[in-house]
Structure 1
Amino acid sequence: MTATDLRPSRVEPAAVPAPARLRRRWLRAGLPALAFLILLAAAWQLMSVLLDSVLVPGVGEIGSELVEIVADGSFAEQLGITVLRVALGFALAFVVAVAVGLAMGRNEIARRFFEPAVLLGLTIPGLVWALLCVIWFGIELVNPVAAVALSSAPPLVLTVYQGVRSVDPDLLEMAYVYRFSRATRLRRLWLPALAPSLFAGARLGLSLGWKVIVLVEVFGMSSGVGYQLNNAFAAQNVAAVLAWTLLFAVVMAVLEYGVLQGLERRASRWRKAVSV
């Protein structure tokens, strides 16, 4: 008998069925968020009862407005218009940001050339972009698209630039030694390595784009969620303002948990495979 035979045998944990693991994961992820939302609704209802003011409607009144907005189809129609504007503006900002961020990270002259524009873009408030685009482009589609792109591009450029600077030099040397083409380097090296930075920048850029699109629609458009918010404000309908705001927040949550996080997990699968 050897020392190896005397070692305690390792007990493997019992395999958990996939549906059970999935339910457990959803519970861990959803319960804290659900608890926060319930606590927030209870606090708002308490404040509404204590203040007893038409300016602070109760949860029931807000819920009634929310159901009415969804039932009559206005939310789906107006949301579609707003989402199209945000998608076009963000797509433009994303393409420009990837190109400029790569150039800044790889070339010192490009970094010094674009750096003032990035700093200026980060400094200018979204309200200014909204007002300027309304003045310049009026009610044309280019107005919201340009406003979203101008507000989203600077943080995207900055995150891409920082991601480029953090890429392992050994990978770059390997690509040079094996003489990868530019397309291969972009597809096999840069995009996988920059995935965390791209998703972080996408979250920040989308959040800024959503805020700016509402301002643009409030000031210079005749459709969209921002336009509906402005109408509710003009009618002094606080419950409708809050209902539209909540629906807007739900859309952002769906984009984050249903789209961005799923794409991020898919893009980072190779990291988990390497670490195994």
Structure 2
Amino acid sequence: MTATEVRPTRVSAALTAAPKPQGGLRFLPALLFLVLLAGAWQLMAVLLDSVLVPGVPAIAAELVDIVSDGAFLDQLGITVLRVALGFALAFVVAVAIGIAMGRSAFARRFFEPAVLLGLTIPGLVWALLCVIWFGIDLVNPVAAVALSAAPALMLQIYQGTRSVDPDLLEMAHVYRFSRTTRLRKLWLPALAPSLFAGARLGLSLGWKVIVLVEVFGMSSGVGYQLNNAFAAQNVAAVLAWTLLFAVVMAILEYGVLQGLERRVSRWRKAVSV
């Protein structure tokens, strides 16, 4: 039984009364920050007058060249696919283990060392080990991303599991919900804030690791292109590829994660009214 089934009238009224987003104005602070950042960078480039610190026009020219190149989308798509597969693997494993840690003291003690080790080991180490173990196979980047993202996800889900209302667990037990029903109707909605927080952290770690993997052991992807630009001592190209990488992360955050989070958490806001 969900909150929307219990109080449909209050939910509908709350959704109707909820403030509407103010269009593009909500992006104004972020846009202002980017403008100030670009201005500060250009000022630094002018003052230093060094080929190692290219100005904004030089970086913009490299951006245009990269995007206009027909291989750009292919390279970006390869990297995104690797991150998506690795993150999906980490997500499935983290949900199962995180819930088990929150529900069982034995499972918590059993997996706690693995989580601590995973959080401690730098992404560079995972990248190097996966290159050594798997070579240039697809398993290499997928495993590296999963190993980097899973510990942070497990910790977030474990903490979220510990905060679930015991009354909901008792209700699920009394009504003899199946494991599938409990996961879909109880655990996932209750853990939504923890899942999104873990997803943000896990994706950020995965993006960092995938670049290292592609630099050290792959012959395609954004990291490979960054390595080529570095070998050519083209600092503007390195910064341009980095900015494109950041744009992808911004699209995932503002276009995907925040939208899903608002959609999933609507019933929470409505119930609290």
Same fold by TM (over 0.5)?
Answer: yes
CA drift of 1:273 comes to 2.3
Superposition pairs for residues 250-269 of structure 1, below 5 Å?
250-269=247-266
User: Could you say which residue in structure 2 is the equivalent of 1:52?
Assistant: 49
SS at match of 2:191: helix
User: Could you say which residue in structure 2 is the equivalent of 1:157?
Assistant: 154
Letter in 1 for 2:215: V
1:75 aligns with 2:72: yes
Aligned sequence identity (%) = 85
1:275 aligns with 2:259: no
CA drift of 1:21 comes to 4.8
Counterpart Cα distance in 2 of 1:166 and 1:73: 49
Computing the radius of gyration from Cα coordinates, the structure with the larger value is: 1
Counterpart Cα distance in 2 of 1:275 and 1:104: 29
SS at match of 2:219: coil
The alignment yields a C-alpha RMSD, in angstroms, of 1.5
Higher relative contact order (CA 8 A, sep 6+): 2
Among 218, 229, 232, the residue aligned to 2:229: 232
CA drift of 1:154 comes to 0.2
Letter in 1 for 2:81: L
Encode CA deviations 1:238-261: one digit per residue, 9 max, x unaligned.
000000000000000000000000
User: Could you say which residue in structure 2 is the equivalent of 1:145?
Assistant: 142
Counterpart Cα distance in 1 of 2:45 and 2:70: 28
Flag structure 2 segments of 5+ consecutive residues without an equivalent.
1-17
User: Could you say which residue in structure 2 is the equivalent of 1:5?
Assistant: none
Find runs of 4+ consecutive structure 1 residues off by over 3 angstroms: none
Counterpart Cα distance in 1 of 2:123 and 2:29: 32
Task: Using structure 1 for the length normalisation, give the TM-score.
Answer: 0.91
Counterpart Cα distance in 2 of 1:185 and 1:213: 34
User: Could you say which residue in structure 2 is the equivalent of 1:135?
Assistant: 132
SS at match of 1:140: coil
User: Could you say which residue in structure 1 is the equivalent of 2:176?
Assistant: 179
User: Could you say which residue in structure 1 is the equivalent of 2:61?
Assistant: 64
User: Could you say which residue in structure 2 is the equivalent of 1:113?
Assistant: 110
Among 19, 24, 27, the residue aligned to 1:26: 24
CA drift of 1:201 comes to 0.2
Aligned residue pairs, count = 257
Counterpart Cα distance in 2 of 1:215 and 1:250: 18
Flag structure 1 segments of 5+ consecutive residues without an equivalent.
1-17
User: Could you say which residue in structure 2 is the equivalent of 1:40?
Assistant: 37
Task: Using structure 2 for the length normalisation, give the TM-score.
Answer: 0.92
CA drift of 1:25 comes to 4.3
